[in-house]
């Protein structure tokens, strides 16, 4: 009885997103989809690395942060491969971006971001630093930082 109690105590709460990625990796492995299996294995390793860094179980928000970082790395690679005229590597990276993006929650509509930016400017966020700080805090994990920055700059120019 003591052993079962210890096993139950060792069971940790795992992010639903991580669980879904793990299940999809198993399914892609069974289906023989090597490219998808590789991408999912890479992101699972990144999830594990972050969990060790945090020193606690991951939340879905933590997992989304990892996915966004992985996508950003691949977008940077696409840019470099495009400059180097390597279309086969560009296609590979874009495939990986598509796989990873399928796990992200839907992004906030740009019009919602514009309305929030106007509201924050009216509330006293008069420079890009204050506006970006407020926007990133409000929309963390819901929108791409690059898009938030672009909308913030547009909104400040229009004020």
Residue 90 has pLDDT above 60, yes or no: yes
pLDDT reported for residue 8 = 41
Say if residue 96 is in the same domain as residue 123.
no
Say if residue 132 is in the same domain as residue 87.
no
pLDDT reported for residue 78 = 96
In a 3-state reduction of DSSP, which class is residue 65? helix
Residue 5 has pLDDT above 80, yes or no: no
Q: State phi, psi for 14 to the nearest 5 degrees.
A: -110, 140
Of 69, 101, 133, the residue that ends a domain is: 101
Say if residue 96 is in the same domain as residue 120.
no
pLDDT tens digits, one per residue of 143-155: 878 888 898 888 8
Residue 9 has pLDDT above 70, yes or no: no
Band of pLDDT at residue 120, cut at 50, 70 and 90: confident
Say if residue 128 is in the same domain as residue 96.
no
E strand spans, 80-156: none
Say if residue 10 is in the same domain as residue 71.
yes
CATH number assigned to the domain comprising residue 154: 1.10.10
């Amino acid at each position: 009885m003591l052993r079962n109690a210890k096993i139950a105590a060792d069971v940790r709460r795992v992010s639903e997103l991580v669980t879904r990625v793990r299940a999809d990796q198993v399914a892609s492995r069974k289906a023989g989809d090597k490219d998808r299996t590789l991408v999912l294995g890479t992101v699972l390793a990144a999830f594990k690395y972050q969990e060790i860094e945090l020193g606690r179980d991951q939340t879905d928000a933590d997992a989304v942060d990892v996915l966004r970082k992985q996508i950003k790395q691949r977008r940077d690679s696409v840019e470099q491969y495009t400059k180097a005229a390597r279309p086969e590597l560009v296609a590979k990276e874009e495939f990986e971006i598509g796989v990873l993006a399928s796990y992200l929650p839907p992004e906030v509509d740009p019009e919602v971001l514009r309305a929030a930016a106007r509201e924050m400017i009216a509330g006293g966020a008069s420079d890009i630093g204050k506006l970006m700080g407020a926007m990133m805090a409000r929309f963390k994990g819901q929108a791409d930082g690059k898009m938030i920055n672009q909308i913030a700059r547009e909104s400040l120019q229009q004020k």
